Amino acid sequence: MNPPAANKTAAAERYSAVAIVLHWLIAAAIVVQVVLAWRMVGHNTPEGFALMQLHKSVGITILGLSLVRLVWRLAKPKPRAVTLTPWEARLSGLVHAGFYLVMIGMPLTGWLAVSASPINIPTLLYGHIPFPHIPGVAELPAHLKAAAHTAGSRSHAALAWLFYGLFALHVAGALKHQLFGAHEPVLARMAPGAVAGRWLEPRLLAIVAGLILVAGFGVFLQPPRPASVAPSVGPVLADLDSEPPAPAASAESSIASTPAATQSTVDPTPVSPVHWVVGAGSTLGFTTNWSGTAIEGRFQTWTADILFSPKALDRSRVKVVIDMGSAATGDAQRDSSLPGESWFAAATNPKATFTASRFEQVGADRYVAHGTLELRGVSKPVDLRFRLKISGDRAEMDGQASLDRTAFGVGQGTFAATDQIPSEVVVATRISAQVAPGGSPKP
């Protein structure tokens, strides 16, 4: 049993229990953070996105723990100094100061880079706790925001390399004192009971094993990937192309290509197109993939002005107006970035518009609307293939169009590449409609 005087001496030569716990918690978090950072490099994928979100969460955790550690350090006296040479004492002081710079500076510079990022992705700590951007940064003028993003990113990277150097010095110093300094109980200050000079010190071996386990945890940790909405438009309508197109090049020949039974009932008097009202349950969605992972999305807000009749294709027209800020894919962080400049640029182009006034019948109940899509200020021709069933005053329509997102500038910067997110996006719609009041009577 140790006498009280010996216990007091040992306590005076080591850090407090709070300081010890904070030290090892921060060390473990930093190891996980480094592993996550290396796993993110070059991976613009759903996994990389999920790792980035976790990386931000761990970074904010390190910032909080480091601030608590600093306050505790200022409030509580340091343990009695170990006898060091003057250059060792100066180097030790620089290393400790450098660690505080890194532990506080890296999360802050990362926070700045995220707040000024052109891709406005919110931070949800561990997927649940909202964490704000630095006030005012996201609202900076474009050139100042870009400069802030560059400054934050470069400073973050520089501090990362500084950390590697500090870590090497810190570990080398601790091992030098533990293995070659029998009268320098440095390890015992953070691992109470460690005996200086003992190579097979159990506490040292436990620390090494613990760091390996923590690193392994970071390697194999699989954070939840971004979610996707449930399919809102049903399966992609691949069978729309299953029938060979009829050789019809005009509205007149399209009508003539209908089955004979139908032709016999067609009134030779010109028929006016019908005004249809889109009903509840109608959907407009899109499908793409991200590194092989399917992404299903939908637009929550859109309107359609439909004037259409199979017997009056030459006078039919459609106009669909889409609120680009209403896109939803099932992941809040991803969805908040879609209206940004890197994707839909909804601030300057809040609406996308599809208009069509030329229709072609290509089979029984199958049509093509040859139209124009205006998106992000770019207009391109787009063909919408659809299947239509009309029963009295009601109609059911399923349609899809394939378009090249890069032709409209959707996906800027790293997302302009098509190796992870392909250029092709399938837009699909399912509409239930009824004849507008005052429209054509029931047949």
* Cα–Cα distances in angstroms (integers) from residue 356 to residues 194, 318, 337, in the given order: 79, 5, 30
User: pLDDT value at position 440?
Assistant: 59
Those residues with Cβ within 8 angstroms of residue 300's Cβ, 6 or more apart along the chain or in another chain: 323, 326, 327, 328
Phi-psi region of 349 (alpha: psi -120 to 50; beta: other; left: phi over 0): beta
Residue 235: name the closest of 173, 296, 312 by CA: 296
User: pLDDT value at position 390?
Assistant: 93
DSSP 216-228: HHHHH--PPPPP-
User: pLDDT value at position 224?
Assistant: 81
User: pLDDT value at position 142?
Assistant: 82
Residues of the chain with pLDDT under 70: 1-13, 42-44, 81, 226-270, 439-443
User: pLDDT value at position 303?
Assistant: 95
Q: What is the DSSP letter of 183?
A: T
Residue 348 CB neighbours (<10 A):
9
Residue 427 CB neighbours (<10 A):
23
Task: Give dist(CA 252, CA 273) in Å, integer.
Answer: 14
User: pLDDT value at position 228?
Assistant: 58
Q: What is the DSSP letter of 67?
A: H
Please write down the HEC assignment for all residues of 331-378.
Answer: CHHHHHHCCCCCCCCCCCCCEEEEEEEEEEEEECCEEEEEEEEEECCE
- In contact, 427 and 286? CB cutoff 8 Å: yes
Nearest-10 crossing angle of helices 86-115, 46-75: 130
For the record, the structure tokens of 111 come out as: 């926070």
Task: Give dist(CA 116, CA 255) in Å, integer.
Answer: 57
Residue 135 CB neighbours (<10 A):
8
Task: Give dist(CA 209, CA 50) in Å, integer.
Answer: 27
User: pLDDT value at position 354?
Assistant: 97
Task: Give dist(CA 106, CA 66) in Å, integer.
Answer: 11
